[in-house]
Structure 1
Amino acid sequence: MIARVRRLAPLLRQRSVARFTLLLGILALFGLTVLLLPQPDLADAPRLVDRLGPLAPPAAILLGALMMVVLVPRTLVSFAWGALFGTVGGASYALGAALIAAALGFAVGRTLGRDFVAERVRGRLARLDGWFARQSVLGVVTVRLLPVGGFGLISYGYGTTGARVRPFLVGSVLASVPSAFGYAAMGAAVASPGDINWFAIAPAGLGLVASTIIVTKWRRSRRAALAAASA
């Protein structure tokens, strides 16, 4: 049995390398697609929304999720949906899309990249991977609020770690609330100048305050941990 496992180990490592290479290729393709494709003309979008009727909200959620999966910035989706559906509707549909996109990105990253990363983490990287595995919702919110990458890219990256699914998804949505309402309100203001519902964008202001507090506490705890380690 042990001899068989030893014979299979190189094959399993080769497969993990192939899957990880495929993941990198997919991300590179998505990135090039976003950079090279021309910007869509949204002039006919309101008429399309009217024609879809009650199907417009689920279509917006699914399309927004697809856009985020291929690495279109989430803020652009929130802005566009705010212009089409108003502040509350646009932000809500953008958040629904973010939840689906986060789940898909995480699943792809876990399937294609987790084995490769788990086989190679050593030392500090192993401790970092353990930190991701122990992360709470607050930890995910903190990482999401840091300027370390786009929404889709972070989702794929989280899948390659030992992070748990539920805290990741809940934290991803909570961290998206401030900018979803803020950019949706901006989109709605562009579509209907002078018609801004300030109560609707209140979550953006509250979320900004909460984000500032979270990031400040994270930086203080990190400085304390570094000081304790160097002492």
Structure 2
Amino acid sequence: MIPAVRRLLRQPSARRFALLLALLAGFGVLLFLVPRPDPAQLPRLAGCLDGYAPIAAIVGGALLLVALVPRTFVTLAAGAIFGPLEGAAYALGAALLAAAIGFTVGRLLGRDFVAERVRGRLARLDGWFARQSVLGVVTVRLLPIAGFGLVSYGYGTTGARVLPFLAGSLIASAPTAFGYAAVGAAISSPGHVNWYAAAPASLGLIASVVLIHRWWRAERQRRAVPG
């Protein structure tokens, strides 16, 4: 694996960036060609997975996310298969793993190309990503600008640091993970879902609002200080 990565890194940056674009385009085409599963059939998968359920759920969900499948669908499916709380936990694990994979692929294939060509305002924007804290990542993740996987690839092409990116991705994913998992469980087994399982979603939403408010105040104070 390492020799393959070394050979890849020796390729011209433009060729690697073209490979990244081709990869994303291929995933986009697959989204239209691959049929969606029937939600009513999803709970049967839990019994088939047996003791491998946690690994299969997290790894499988992560692979779907890096293939640009919407996180909403992945979380709904996890809730339908494993129930609200267990499904939410697996969905969060998948989101964290997918964020790491997408960031790494974007960094290997696109970072050099972007770093060599950004100028002016784009250079300042790249510097902003490089200085970003966890709060900044949370804010970007919560904005409806692109899908989860696409944002992960995009972050990898910037100068962003990996640990704040992963922490921010996990925090931003928490509010909807519990809510959508509860909805997925309700779709597959109506009347058998304890809706209090969705309570962590409201707590996560409140935490996200507080984080965004603190970040906004810090930004206003920074801009008010004379440069």
How many angstroms does 1:220 deviate by?
6.5
Which of the residues 197, 201, 206 maps onto 2:198? 201
Alignment of 1:133-152 (within 5 A): 133-152=130-149
Q: Distance in 1 between matches of 2:39 and 2:198?
A: 24
Partner residue in 2 for 1:172: 169
Structure 2: which 5+ residue stretches go unaligned? 1-8
Stretches (4+) displaced over 3 A: 41-45, 212-229
**Counterpart Cα distance in 1 of 2:70 and 2:221:** 34
Give 2:208's aligned amino acid. Answer: S
Structure 2 residue aligned with 1:6 = none
Q: Structure 1 CA distance, aligned partners of 2:44 and 2:123?
A: 52
Asked if the contact 2:40–2:188 (Cα under 8 Å) also holds between the matched residues in 1, the reply is no
Of 91, 95, 102 in structure 2, the residue corresponding to residue 94 of structure 1 is 91
For residues 42-91 of structure 1, what are the alpha-carbon distances to aligned partners after superposition, in whole Å with 9 as ceiling and x for unaligned?
54433332122111121111110110010000111111110111111000
The Cα RMSD (Å) is 2.4
The 3-state SS of whatever aligns with 1:161 is: coil
Partner of 1:82: 79
Aligned mates of 1:186, 1:18 — CA distance in 2: 43
Contact preservation (8 Å) 1:106, 1:157: yes
Deviation track 1:111-140 (CA, whole Å, cap 9, x = no partner) reads 000001000111221111111111111111
Contact preservation (8 Å) 2:103, 2:156: yes
Q: Which amino acid aligns with 1:98?
A: A
Alignment of 1:1-231 (within 5 A): 15-215=12-212
Aligned residue pair count: 218
**TM-score scaled to structure 1, two decimals?**
0.85
State the secondary structure of the residue aligned to 1:147.
coil
Deviation at 1:187, TM superposition (A): 0.7
The two structures have a TM-score, normalised by structure 2, of 0.87
- The alpha carbon displacement at 1:194 in A equals 2.6
Q: Percent identity, aligned pairs only? A: 67
Q: What's the secondary structure of 2:12's corresponding residue?
A: helix
Question: Is the deviation greater in 77-86 or in 205-214?
Answer: 205-214
Matched AA of 2:57: A
Provide the secondary structure at the position in 1 that maps to 2:69.
coil
CA change 1:20–1:84 in 2 (3 A) is same
- State the Cα deviation string for residues 154-204 of structure 1 (Å, max 9, x = none): 000000001111111111011000011010010111122233334322221
